[in-house]
Amino acid sequence: MFKPSILIVDDEKAARYGMKKILLKDNYSVYEAKDSTEALHMIKTLRPSLVLLDINMPQLDGMKTLEMINAIPNPPLVVIVTAYGSEKIAVDAMKKGAYDYIAKPYEIDELRIIAKNAFDRLALQEENARLRIEIGRLEGMGELIGQSEAMKEVFDKIEKVGTTDVTVLIQGESGSGKELVAREIHRRSKRRNEPLIIMNCAAVPETLVESELFGHEKGAFTGAAERRLGKFELANKGTIFLDEIGDMSTSTQSKLLRILQEQKFERLGGIETLTVDTRIISATHCDLEEEIEENRFREDLYYRIKVVSIKLPPLRHRKEDIPLLVNRFLHHFSEKHQKRMASISHDAMKYLISYDWPGNVRQLKNALESAVVLSNGEILDTTDLPEEIKHPSDNTLPSGSIDYNLTFRDAKKILIENFERDFIKKKLEECDGNISRTAEALDMHRQNLQQKIRELRITKERNYHE
Instruction: Give residue 456's pLDDT.
Output: 76
How many CA atoms lie less than 13 Å away from 179 in the CB half-sphere?
12
166 and 296 in a common domain: yes
Classify residue 418: in a domain, yes or no.
no
Q: Are residues 302 and 292 in contact, defined by beta-carbon separation less than 8 angstroms?
A: yes
Are 268 and 151 found together in one domain?
Answer: yes
Q: Quote the pLDDT of residue 302.
A: 95
In the prediction, which pLDDT does 132 show?
Answer: 59
| Alpha helix positions (H), 10-162 | 13-24, 36-46, 62-70, 87-95, 108-136, 149-162
| Same domain for 341 and 303 | no
Does residue 453 lie within any of the structural domains?
Answer: no
Same domain, 264 and 293: yes
Cα four-point dihedral sign 149, 154, 160, 163: negative
Same domain, 151 and 285: yes
Buried b (16+ CB within 10 A) or exposed e, 82-94: beeebeebbebbe
Same domain membership, residue 186 and residue 119: no
Boundary-marking domain end, from 390, 409, 426: 390
Tell me the average confidence (pLDDT) per consecutive run of 10 residues in the chain, 466 residues long: 80 92 92 92 92 87 90 90 80 89 90 92 77 56 85 92 94 92 94 94 86 90 87 94 93 92 91 93 92 92 95 92 92 90 86 91 94 89 88 50 61 79 86 86 85 73 56
Kindly report the pTM of this predicted structure: 0.58
Final residue of a structural domain among 346, 365, 390? 390
Round to whole Å and give the CA distance between 456 and 426: 14
CATH code, domain carrying 326: 1.10.8.60
Same domain, 178 and 264: yes
Pair (251, 108) in one structural domain: no
Determine the Cα–Cα distance for residues 332 and 337; give it in Å rounded to an integer: 9
DSSP structural state of residue 456: T
Q: Which range of residues forms the domain containing residue 82?
A: 5-131
Looking at residue 133, its pLDDT comes to 57
Does 109 share its domain with 23? yes
Tell whether 67 and 178 lie within a shared domain: no
What does the pLDDT read at residue 308? 96
Assign residue 54 the CATH number of its domain. 3.40.50.2300
